[in-house]
Structure 1
Amino acid sequence: MRRRSISVHPINARREAYGEFHRLMTQMLEDDEKFVSYLRMKQDKFDQLLKPVSEDLTKTATNFCKPSSPEERLVFTL
């Protein structure tokens, strides 16, 4: 089996700056129509859905990687 040369690919390391979630979510939070169009629910419903599952979607950060936020993981699922 081949060993990995890097733990996190540089593209993934910059996901907070260039990733779809981080770019679009800031715009969608300002525009309700875009939010509904993208996630098929209003912001308050998304927050209602996130509240009970956010603890289950939270991962512990390590020295090696920063996990996706519960909001990001829920958007991936939807």
Structure 2
Amino acid sequence: MAAVTTAVIAIAGVILGWIAIEIACKPCLEKGREAIDRSLNPDYDPDEDIRAPLNTNPDLRSHPAVSSSASTQTLK
């Protein structure tokens, strides 16, 4: 009887551990499962996920990383 009790406790521990991992790592696991689903889907085309840049004609003078003196020197 002690062996059955030990086995039931061990199985319950494994199940509770699995549930804890699923809850703790849910975002990461969902992204991984989505990636696996996409890679196994024969109709999935990875080229369709490429997005065009939002600003196709950037203005260097309005960019915050470019100082005013540097932008006037490059635009002359």
TM-score normalised according to structure 2 size: 0.26
Which structure shows the bigger proportion of residues in helix conformation? 2
The answer to which structure, 1 or 2, has the higher relative contact order (CA under 8 A, 6+ apart) is: 1
Structure number with greater Rg is 2
TM-score normalised according to structure 1 size: 0.25
